[in-house]
Amino acid sequence: MDIVKIIGVGFIAVIIIVILKQYRPEFAIYASIIAGVIIILMITDTLSGIINLLQDIANRTNVNTQFLKILMKITGIAILTEFAVSICKDSGETAVANKIDIGGKVIIISMSIPIIRALLETVLKILP
C-alpha cells in the first residue's frame, strides 16, 4: 500500500524537522521541502495512471480532450499551490501563503473560462 509509505515518509520527516528545529532551525524548512518532493515523486506513477485512464475515457466517449487537458492543468496548479502554501505557513509566512493561495485561485478561474463558456453555450442551445 502506497499510503503506508507516504505516511511513513511524512512521520520520518516530522521527526527530523522537530529535531532540526531544536538544533538548527534554519534547516527545518529544507527538510520539509525535501519530504514534500519525495512524497510527490512517490505518487507520480499513480498520477500518470489516472491521467492515462482519463484520456482513455475521453477518447472513448468523444469528450473534448482540450477540456481534459485544462482540468489536468487546473488540478496540477491546485496541488502545487497547496504545496507552496503549506511550506510558507510552515515557515511562519502566513501573509505570503495567503497571496500564493489567491494567485493560484485566480489562475484556476482564468484557466476554467473556456469550460464555463462551453457549458453556458450548451445551456443556451438547450433553452428556447
**Digit-coded pLDDT (tens) for 3-16:** 899 999 999 999 99
First CA to last CA across the chain, in angstroms?
52
Query: Is 34 found in the same domain as 20?
Result: yes
- The pTM of this model reads 0.76
The CA distance from 73 to 63, in Å, is 17
Same domain, 21 and 74: no
The answer to whether 71 and 118 have CB atoms below 8 angstroms apart is: no
Specify the number of domains making up the chain. 2
Looking at residues 69-91, what average pLDDT do you find? 90
Range of the domain at 94: 64-128
Q: Which three cell numbers stand for residue 93?
A: 509566512
* CA distances in angstroms from 24 to 17, 30, 53, 58, 73, listed in the order given: 9, 11, 45, 50, 37
Same domain as 122, residue 87 = yes
Dist CA 124 CA 118 (whole Å) = 10
- Do 7 and 44 lie in one domain? The reply is yes
Q: Supply the pLDDT for residue 15.
A: 93
Is residue 128 pLDDT above 80, yes or no? Answer: no
The answer to whether the Cα torsion of 71, 33, 1, 4 is positive or negative is negative
pLDDT at 39: 92
Give yes or no: residues 8 and 57 share one domain: yes
122 shares a domain with 74? yes
Are both 28 and 49 inside the same structural domain? yes
| pLDDT given for residue 9 in this prediction | 92
Do 45 and 68 fall into the same domain? Answer: no
Residue 102 and residue 115 in one domain: yes
